[in-house]
Amino acid sequence: MSIIQIKNLSKNFGRRTAVNDISFDIEAGSLFGFIGPNGAGKTTTIRVLTTLLKPSAGQVLVDGHSVVKQPREVRKVMGYMPDFFGVYNDMTVWEYLDFFCGCYEIEFNQRKSLISDLLELVDLSKRHDDYVDSLSRGMKQRLSLARSLVHDPKVLVLDEPASGLDPRARVEFRELLVELRRLNKTIFFSSHILSDIAEICNQVGIVEQGNLISVGHIDTLKRQLRETHHIRLRVMGDTVERAKSILATSQGVGEVEADPASDGDWDIIAEFSGDKPAVTTLLKQLVLADVPILSFAAETDSLEDVFMKLTEGGIL
């Protein structure tokens, strides 16, 4: 069942089109990664989704509620974490969360335990009474996530949550999102850091210049790109030319490059499009031709490769 439905969404700012007729659905319980370069229309889409911006055309439904006609209903089921952390001066961590509990009309007698649980979830229990502006950026991001969870929303919308975090904080933040998905939250999460999305998301949408280039499961996306792999092998000594000629004449092999490695060995990288049996056939051919192979690996494309290929401009 789709919890977020975006139908023919467009947003223009004057003559400039920020989002151009995009449509996709997100299943309940998904961890959806929204990828695109800066200026692609990610934040504009998120601002429409979170009832902050009126669309020029199209319809956006969250849990069946229109973001334009029923913004309050949408806000009740959604937690939003922007790409910046707004700071109220002179406020402690506890007071910050208590304030938002008040905004979400959570009963006063429930707040103490709720805030304790949330701080424990984001590992900030020890900073309970610290001033918010004294926290590090990573801690502020985690506090912001706790803030977006005070009303136990069905949907979490996170705009570039990992930006500006150090590698350790990024890993911790990713783990938190996985944990939240386990708690059956639907997470809509934008980023231009592909590794963040590749490691945790089960669905992705790729946008460029306001257009939705592709949307679906990561594995499906890779298949859409005809399973292009790279074959990487290391061969001994002067057999490099023989190996190259066998590879060049084999079916499915594209460009072949060879670079000298240590101890007189050679590394060969060959573009290869074919399925698993084709990979084993290629290896068999090399072995039968007495090529002394030290290592052999078929590498599938990373999400980064998929992204680069999709955003080359030709695939729309």
Partner 1 sequence: MTSHTNPIIVNEMRTRMRGCRAYVLLTLYLALISCITATMYVTIYDTSTGLYGDYDITTANVRDAPDIGKAIFISTTILLLFLITHIAPAFTAASISGEREKQTYDILITTPLLARRIVWGKLGAVFLFLFLLILTSLPVQSLAFLFGGVAFTELIIATLVLAMSALAFGSVGLYISSLNRTTMVSILFTYSVILPFVYGLPFIVFWLGTFTLPVVALIGSVYSELASMIIGIVMAYLAGFLLSLNPFSSGLLTIIAATNGNGYFFFTEQVFYNISIPMVSPWIIYVFFCVFIVIVMAQLTIRQLNQISNF
Q: Which residues contact partner 1 by CB under 8 A?
A: 13, 50-54, 67-68, 71-72, 75-76, 78, 80, 82, 84-91, 95, 99-108, 144, 147
Closest CB 17 distance from partner 1, rounded Å: 14
Compute the CA torsion angle 263, 269, 270, 274 (nearest 10 deg): 110
Residue 102 host element (H or E):
helix 93-103
Assign 3-class secondary structure to 181-198: HHCCCEEEEEECCHHHHH
What phi and psi values does residue 300 have, to the nearest 5 degrees?
Answer: -85, 160
Closest CB 103 distance from partner 1, rounded Å: 4
- Pairing status of strand 155-159 against strand 186-191: parallel
Closest CB 75 distance from partner 1, rounded Å: 5
CB closer to partner 1, 107 vs 290:
107
CB closer to partner 1, 89 vs 184:
89
Residues 6+ apart with CB under 8 A from 133: 87, 89
What is the distance between the alpha carbons of residues 34 and 280, in angstroms, rounded to a whole number?
36
Polymer length of the chain: 316
CB closer to partner 1, 81 vs 165:
81
CB closer to partner 1, 88 vs 251:
88
What phi and psi values does residue 227 have, to the nearest 5 degrees?
Answer: 50, 45
What is the distance between the alpha carbons of residues 200 and 37, in angstroms, rounded to a whole number?
19
Q: How far is CA 3 from the centre of its chain?
A: 18
Closest CB 110 distance from partner 1, rounded Å: 9
CB closer to partner 1, 98 vs 208:
98
Closest CB 91 distance from partner 1, rounded Å: 6
Closest CB 307 distance from partner 1, rounded Å: 28
CB closer to partner 1, 49 vs 246:
49
